[in-house]
Structure 1
Amino acid sequence: MRLTTILRASRTSVSQLPWIGELKVAQLQRIARATGIQSSGTKSVLAARIQAALSQQLIPPPQEKNSNDWSVLSIDMGIQNLAFAHLRVPKASLTQMVARAPSRPVLTAWHRLKVSEIGDLDLQGTGVKTDGGDVAERMSDSEAGSIPSSQTIETKPPTGLKEAFSPDVYASMAYTLITSLLSVYKPTHILIERQRFRSGGGSAVQEWTIRVGVLEGMLHAVLHTLRHARGSDIAGIEVQGIEPKRVVRYWEDLDSDTTQEGDDGTKKGRVSAREVKKTKIDLVGRWLGASLENDFSSDTGTRSDGDMGVGAAVDGKICLAADRPAVHDLAGAYLQKWRGEGTRKKRSSTAGSISEIGKLDDLADCLLQGVTWVEWQVMRERLAREGLQAFEMP
């Protein structure tokens, strides 16, 4: 049924995008990787998939959404280490395609947390913690109208069961997490990392992957239910699952099926998960370094990060929200840990964040996922409007 839908969509769009059918398989795969589209399949299936995705860019969005910036919430799944980034994407990033000089996404929030502790987190970065139990009170009347006033909803795990693997506890945490994020950030797009039950080619299914997979499904279920129950106020939110492999391939083509050549021309083996993780952490470190440097210097052309071996990736991918000091503090803490700088060099205002930042990969993953998704949308828009002129083919 899904394939039939794609093929039907391609028949209606082929007259709008005739150049797609003229490309070779390798060219179609490159376009798919550059736009976040599944790159497997035969030439006809791949072409149909690309045509269906690009044709969506030719459909004008509703007027009320078209006039606003995007509010993108990117979630890296976990239970003990869930991370999310909130990006405000200026309208110019999506409309100034011909000039190819879109505004950079603005990072307004960046957190890692235990899901069970969502009610204790300062989501807005104002020093006032968000209590998940009061979410309904902070919603507008129309948003809370779907929740019966006489019904008590458990929004925090029972004492002593925070770490329990129980569907009712996970459902409670999922509801609290989603309603809190909706209330504070009012996203137009929510990106949720897709989970795999096996990793590294292993045959065993780890228990923690099952737990995270259950929570992932519950987040989607809560969002689906709220969108239908509340009607128009959040019905327009777009929710997408994002495969980490496609994010990695967009930047470095470092998925496990890829082999690379060394400097001597010999084939290198598969890239390890540790190397992929390091590359992602390095890439985000470069972005943060460039953003913070722009905050303190007008010389935007100076590189301060050195050669981190991340290929042709560009440093200036994001901006840090000027009115979110917590974001600046966390970015500074990330950079200092990434660079291995001593604690004596840290500013006093960032001491708390530095001591609590922990490992960097979860924070890197959620930010990388959000920025990559935005770039996919920009490239889709360019291809739909400009054709192959927007994409240099060999």
Structure 2
Amino acid sequence: MRLTAILRASRIPVSQFTWLASLKVAQLQRIARATGIQSSGTKNVLTARIEAALCQRLVIPAQEKNRNDWSVLSIDMGIQNLAFAHLRVPRASLIQTAAPAPLRPVLTAWHRLKVSEIGTLDLEGTGAKIDVAGIVSEPEAESLPSTKTVKAKAKPAAGLKEAFSPDLYAATAYTLITSLLSAYKPTHILIERQRFRSGSGSAVQEWTIRVGVLEGMLHAVLHTLRHERGSELAEIEVQGIEPKRVVQYWEDLDSDTAPRSDDSTKKGRASAREVKKAKIDLVGRWLNSTLDLNISENGASSSSGEMEPGAILDRKICLAADMSALHDLAGAYLRKWRGEGTRKKSLSVADSGNAIGKLDDLADCLLQGVTWVEWQVMRERLAREGFEAIERT
């Protein structure tokens, strides 16, 4: 078997993962789904694919000795409903084993917007600087504008809804990427992969072409900036994430999160509507657990008493402290998810359950980011513990 470039660079003998050869195809597929790897192919193909991913996880920690916590930017693609979430991931959480109170990713930003409005988006609204780890520091009067906001420099690209113009899309893609890089200093950028057909339909919808073009432009802008700016952006990792693998991961991990109904059981697969609802529900459970238990950023909980069944699974994230807009948005998401109405007439946009609009885009970007982090944790555990890591999970 030929060694891939990753295996050669790692200088780790292939024999270190000889335990893979003793596994059945079904077990290899289970590993692939648990680590975000393509699960199709023969046993030899799957084994080689998994070996490459595990060897990479053994090499990366040595390269990251001087790095701060991961700064992960997760983007759910769209034109009228683009959404992104920013997570600060403690490095210790990537190598820890099972623990009573494991460190969790900290959600520091969560937005949904029309891409034409990026020029007026207040990314933080705090006037604070954000370093590579996503840690907020106090604003400096000399270096920050008096408005105390971090706004995109370019004007919004008008007409994106009506016109399919590459030059408008290119300008918007550049403004979006440079604004996000400046605000969050990401170490990893995750971009949702697009499909040209949905629901196994034969027709290619116009909106999928538009979103696909924008997706390609985001990758092109990032590729160009990394080469132009050299060491400043050279270490940023950009990955496309297939939504199907995200759903498969949670279906395998917890049967309660798998979308099921009488119709889906008969057909053997869930509908797009059922999958969407399952993802919205899963993020709703995370936020409900996070806010109700008052989980702090270090993973400690101020609650007392026994935990409800599934509470450990639900405690996947923390909300960054002292970011009122983020907490307002999380609260609005929860109220709409629970179906709670409000009679207050004077509510801010962020605080209104009706104003929050669709939940699926916000859910998708957050779910994508958290899932990717869990893939990396599982790869780390598999590389060091073998198949027992899957069995214990």
> By the TM > 0.5 criterion, same fold?
yes
**1:243 aligned residue:** 242
> TM-score w.r.t. structure 1 length?
0.83
**1:34 aligned residue:** 34
Shift, 1:14, TM fit: 2.1
26-35 or 345-354, which deviates more: 345-354
> TM-score w.r.t. structure 2 length?
0.83
SS of the residue 1:252 aligns to:
helix
CA distance in structure 2 between the aligned counterparts of 1:3 and 1:82, rounded to whole angstroms: 39
**2:194 aligned residue:** 195
CA distance in structure 2 between the aligned counterparts of 1:246 and 1:82, rounded to whole angstroms: 20
**1:299 aligned residue:** 303
CA distance in structure 2 between the aligned counterparts of 1:243 and 1:13, rounded to whole angstroms: 30
CA distance in structure 2 between the aligned counterparts of 1:125 and 1:156, rounded to whole angstroms: 18
The 8 Å contact of residues 116 and 160 in structure 2, kept in 1 or not, is answered as: no
2:151 is the counterpart of 1:131:
yes
CA distance in structure 2 between the aligned counterparts of 1:214 and 1:272, rounded to whole angstroms: 26
SS of the residue 2:240 aligns to:
strand
**1:65-102 per-position Cα deviation (integer Å, ceiling 9, x unaligned):** 64410000000000100000000001111132365853
SS of the residue 2:73 aligns to:
strand
Q: Does the C-alpha gap of structure 1 residues 233 and 107 become closer, same or farther in structure 2, counting only changes over 3 Å?
A: same
Shift, 1:351, TM fit: 5.8
The 8 Å contact of residues 157 and 169 in structure 1, kept in 2 or not, is answered as: no
Name the count of aligned residue pairs. 361
Give the AA of the match of 1:225: T
**1:293-334 per-position Cα deviation (integer Å, ceiling 9, x unaligned):** 122882266668xx9xxx898110000001211111000000
Cα RMSD (Å): 3.2
The 8 Å contact of residues 336 and 354 in structure 2, kept in 1 or not, is answered as: no
CA distance in structure 2 between the aligned counterparts of 1:261 and 1:338, rounded to whole angstroms: 19
Shift, 1:382, TM fit: 0.3
The 8 Å contact of residues 332 and 350 in structure 1, kept in 2 or not, is answered as: no
**1:149 aligned residue:** none
**1:325 aligned residue:** 324
Kindly report which structure 2 residues correspond to 1:222-301, keeping only aligned pairs within 5 A, or say none: 222-252=221-251, 267-295=266-294, 298-299=302-303
CA distance in structure 1 between the aligned counterparts of 2:202 and 2:9, rounded to whole angstroms: 38
Q: Does the C-alpha gap of structure 1 residues 9 and 60 become closer, same or farther in structure 2, counting only changes over 3 Å?
A: closer
CA distance in structure 1 between the aligned counterparts of 2:339 and 2:261, rounded to whole angstroms: 28
Give 5+ residue unaligned stretches, structure 1.
Answer: 134-154
SS of the residue 1:131 aligns to:
coil
377-386 or 65-74, which deviates more: 65-74
107-116 or 313-322, which deviates more: 313-322
**1:211 aligned residue:** 210
**2:91 aligned residue:** 91
Q: Does the C-alpha gap of structure 1 residues 348 and 65 become closer, same or farther in structure 2, counting only changes over 3 Å?
A: farther
The 8 Å contact of residues 125 and 325 in structure 1, kept in 2 or not, is answered as: no
CA distance in structure 2 between the aligned counterparts of 1:22 and 1:32, rounded to whole angstroms: 16
Give the AA of the match of 1:110: W
Shift, 1:131, TM fit: 2.9
Q: Does the C-alpha gap of structure 1 residues 161 and 342 become closer, same or farther in structure 2, counting only changes over 3 Å?
A: closer
Kindly report which structure 2 residues correspond to 1:89-168, keeping only aligned pairs within 5 A, or say none: 89-97=89-97, 99=99, 102-126=102-126, 128-133=148-153, 155-157=154-156, 159-160=158-159, 163-168=162-167
Shift, 1:388, TM fit: 1.9
Shift, 1:352, TM fit: 4.3
CA distance in structure 2 between the aligned counterparts of 1:381 and 1:100, rounded to whole angstroms: 19
Kindly report which structure 2 residues correspond to 1:372-383, keeping only aligned pairs within 5 A, or say none: 372-383=371-382
30-39 or 161-170, which deviates more: 161-170
295-304 or 284-293, which deviates more: 295-304
Q: Does the C-alpha gap of structure 1 residues 384 and 345 become closer, same or farther in structure 2, counting only changes over 3 Å?
A: farther
SS of the residue 1:192 aligns to:
strand
Shift, 1:378, TM fit: 0.3
Give the AA of the match of 1:292: L
Q: Does the C-alpha gap of structure 1 residues 9 and 237 become closer, same or farther in structure 2, counting only changes over 3 Å?
A: closer
CA distance in structure 2 between the aligned counterparts of 1:301 and 1:38, rounded to whole angstroms: 41
SS of the residue 1:270 aligns to:
coil
**1:366 aligned residue:** 365
The 8 Å contact of residues 94 and 102 in structure 1, kept in 2 or not, is answered as: no
The 8 Å contact of residues 13 and 51 in structure 1, kept in 2 or not, is answered as: no
Shift, 1:15, TM fit: 1.4
**2:176 aligned residue:** 177
Identical residues among aligned pairs (%): 77
Q: Does the C-alpha gap of structure 1 residues 303 and 10 become closer, same or farther in structure 2, counting only changes over 3 Å?
A: same
Shift, 1:5, TM fit: 5.5
CA distance in structure 2 between the aligned counterparts of 1:316 and 1:209, rounded to whole angstroms: 34
Q: Does the C-alpha gap of structure 1 residues 197 and 13 become closer, same or farther in structure 2, counting only changes over 3 Å?
A: farther
**1:179-208 per-position Cα deviation (integer Å, ceiling 9, x unaligned):** 000000000000000000001010000000
**1:220 aligned residue:** 219
CA distance in structure 1 between the aligned counterparts of 2:251 and 2:74, rounded to whole angstroms: 20
227-236 or 65-74, which deviates more: 65-74
Give 5+ residue unaligned stretches, structure 2.
Answer: 128-147, 296-300
Shift, 1:124, TM fit: 1.1
